[in-house]
Amino acid sequence: MQFGIFTVGDVTTDPTTGRTPSEHERIRATVAIAKKAEEVGLDVFATGQHHNPPFVAPANPPVLLASIAAQTERILLSTSTTLITTTDPVRIAEDYAMLQHLSNGRVDLMMGRGNTGPVYPWFGKDIREGISLAVENYALLHRLWREEVVDWQGNHRTPLQGFTSTPRPLDGIPPFVWHGSIRSPEIAEQAAYYGDGFFSNHIFWPASHTRQMVQLYRRRFEHYGHGSADQAIVGLGGQVFIRRNSQDAVREFRPYFDNAPVYGHGPSLEEFTRQTPLTVGSPQEVIERTLSFREYAGDYQRQLWLMDHAGLPLGTVLEQLDLLGEEVVPVLRKEFAALKPAHVPDAPTHAGLLAAREQTAGTTDTRTLEEAS
């Protein structure tokens, strides 16, 4: 099981002080947060991709992640999400293959469609074509990483004749891909078809909905012959604010919640924690809530938390990461590992995929030798 954080990189005024960080501060803070995530023992750092204020840090995910790769040793770098609809799949193929090389394989990606209407026309696309763009662009990306020379023609970009995406994926192994979707069954179907991962960012949605999406993905994963339904690769979003004492967590987080860009001025903190996975409380409460996700998502492979939005100052976010890394994740690792049946795989990593290929190659070699003797 992998544990990590994902950021949306918003520049938001701290409602308790009225202070707004500069873009530069926010971008440097994002790098500091990623380094801290590695330091406290988390497995994954993922960044969103946005092209509109107040989301400044993630306008250039490959650049951000390359910088973080240079300053870290171990943490896996990912996206949450890469806009497969409005980003040219050729750019995605080349940028992230490059990042694979620079980070020694510490890369995977999460595809998403994005949710800001004007982003589509800004990039020459039509939001009504969202699903079609996600399907076609990913089909091309999938080929660009797997075929040396690609001839291709589609509806959404200029055709390619004799095109080679460079650099080629590290060791010939494309980055593992997750498909993120909150409400579109087509995307769960897409993830199942390719045997890719499915990520349900259920931080803004009730559990009943997440259950439906994950069940659909698992059922179709089995249908397409990638393994049994419970072997499908599932990731979940989450959102927590932790203090040792539950009341302190609620008191401190409430003004950030009440003014958050996404759900602020809507439901109360109490309603939102009841209706969505948001957990504001002690480490023990976060542990119990997170373990309960398994009841409706099954044994899953990746848990990401949103920790750094809504104007929370950097110092607070770093303290949160300490609590997460020291008091929450070690317990969750043990508990989830004890619950997981042996036939349920871990999330694929570059090292794991490489080892699996070498093992297969090794078996073939042995057989060839045996046949020869």
If one asks whether residue 353 binds other proteins (CB under 8 A), the answer comes out as no
Nearest Cα to Cα of residue 111 among 129, 135, 127: 135
Tell me if 275 sits within 8 A of 210, measured CB to CB.
Answer: no
Query: Quick one: tokens of 149?
Result: 């020379």
State which of positions 44-63 bind other proteins (CB under 8 A). none
104 Rama class: left (phi>0) / alpha (psi -120 to 50) / beta: left
Q: Which of 13, 28, 94, 193 binds other proteins (CB under 8 A)?
A: 193
Contact stretch for other proteins (CB under 8 A) within 37-45, 68-76, 230-238, 257-265: 257-265
When binding is defined by CB under 8 A, the residue of 38, 95, 108, 189 that contacts other proteins is: 189
- Size of residue set near other proteins by CB under 8 A: 36
Stretch that binds other proteins, among 190-198, 228-236, 291-299, 311-319 (CB under 8 A): 190-198
In the shown chain, the binding pattern of residues 198 to 217 toward other proteins, with x for contact by CB under 8 A and - for none, equals: ------xxx--x--xx-xx-
Q: Does 128 bind other proteins (CB under 8 A)?
A: no
Which tokens in the block code for residue 311?
A: 């104007």
- The residue (of 97 and 135) whose beta carbon lies closer to other proteins is 135
The C-alpha torsion from 178 through 63 and 134 to 166, rounded to 10°, is -90
- In the complex, what is the shortest distance from the CB of residue 76 to other proteins, in angstroms, rounded to a whole number? 27
296 is a site residue for other proteins (CB under 8 A): no
Q: Report the chain's C-alpha Rg in angstroms.
A: 21
Stretch binding other proteins (CB under 8 A), from 93-101, 259-267, 298-306, 355-363 = 259-267
Give the shortest CB-293-to-other proteins separation in angstroms.
17
Query: Please, which residue, 183 or 343, has the CB nearer to other proteins?
Result: 183
Which one of residues 168, 218, 220, 302 is an interface residue with other proteins (CB under 8 A)? 220
Integer Cα distance of 28 and 234 in angstroms: 31
DSSP-H helix ranges across the chain = 23-39, 61-71, 89-102, 119-122, 130-146, 185-194, 207-223, 246-258, 269-275, 283-297, 314-323, 329-339, 350-372
Q: Which residue has the tokens 């593992």?
A: 176
Number of residues assigned to the chain? 373
Residues lying near other proteins in the complex (CB under 8 A) = 131-132, 135-136, 139-140, 152-156, 185-186, 188-190, 192-193, 204-206, 209, 212-213, 215-216, 220, 224, 262-263, 265-267, 271-272, 275
